[in-house]
Amino acid sequence: MTSPKSETLNAPRAVVVGAGPVGCLAAQVLARHGYAVEVYEKRPHYVEHGLRHDGRTINLSLSPRGVAALAGAGTATSTAGGVRDFAELARLAVPMRRRVRHEPYGRTGVVPYGSDDRQNLSVDRNDLNLHLMKGAEAAPAVRFVFDAECGEVDFTARRVTFTGPAGRTFEVGYDLLVGADGAHSAVRGRLAAQGLTRVEQRAAGAEYREITLVPAKAPGGQEHFDPGAIHVWPRDGFFMVGLPNLDGSLRCTLVLPGDDGTGAADRDTAATAATTFADLAAEDALGDFLRRHFPDAAAHHRPARTGAARSPVSSISLVTCDPVVHGDSVLLMGDAAHTLAPFLGQGVNLGLEDCAALDRLLFAHRGERAAVLARFQQERVPEHEAAAALSLANYRELNGTGPAPRSAGAASLPTLVNFLSSSYREALDAYAGARHAVAADPLPHPIGR
Q: What is the pLDDT of residue 57?
A: 59
| Alpha carbon distance 256, 233 (integer Å) | 12
HSE of 104, CA atoms in CB hemisphere, 13 A:
6
Partner residues linked to 99 by β-bridges: 111, 230
How far lies 31's CA from each of 19, 117, 171, 221, 353, in Å? 15, 33, 22, 50, 17
Distance, in Å, from the CA atom of 140 to the CA atom of 306, rounded to the nearest integer, reads: 44
Distance CA 75, CA 344 (A): 25
CA distance 322 to 154: 20
Q: Are strands 36-40 and 142-145 parallel, antiparallel or unpaired?
A: parallel
Q: What is the pLDDT of residue 418?
A: 92
In contact, 398 and 232? CB cutoff 8 Å: yes
The distance in angstroms from the start CA to the end CA of the chain is 43
Question: In the sheet where 93-96 sits, what is the strand order?
Answer: 60-62, 120-123, 93-96
Predicted pLDDT at 303:
65
∠ CA 176-182-186 to the nearest 5 degrees? 60
Q: Going residue by residue through the chain, which has 449 residues, state the pLDDT in tens, using 9 for 90 and above.
A: 444 444 456 899 999 999 999 999 999 999 999 999 999 999 887 666 555 544 455 789 999 999 988 887 755 434 334 444 556 777 889 999 999 999 887 788 888 887 778 999 999 888 888 888 888 988 999 999 999 999 999 999 999 999 998 899 999 999 999 999 999 999 999 999 999 999 998 888 899 988 888 866 655 555 678 889 999 999 988 999 999 988 888 889 999 998 654 444 444 444 344 689 989 888 788 889 999 999 888 888 776 554 444 678 888 889 989 999 999 999 999 999 999 988 788 999 999 999 999 999 999 999 899 999 999 999 999 999 999 999 989 888 888 776 555 665 678 888 899 999 889 999 999 988 876 534 434 444 444 43
pLDDT at 275: 87
Q: What is the DSSP letter of 84?
A: -
The pTM assigned to this predicted structure is 0.87
Q: At residue 106, what is the residue type?
A: G
Closest CA to 347 of 137, 182, 199: 182
Whether the CB-CB separation of 201 and 365 falls below 8 Å is answered with: no
DSSP β-ladder status, 176-179 and 250-257? unpaired
pLDDT at residue 74, rounded to an integer = 58
Q: Is 151 exposed, middle or buried (CB count within 10 Å of its CB: 0-12, 13-18, 19+)?
A: middle
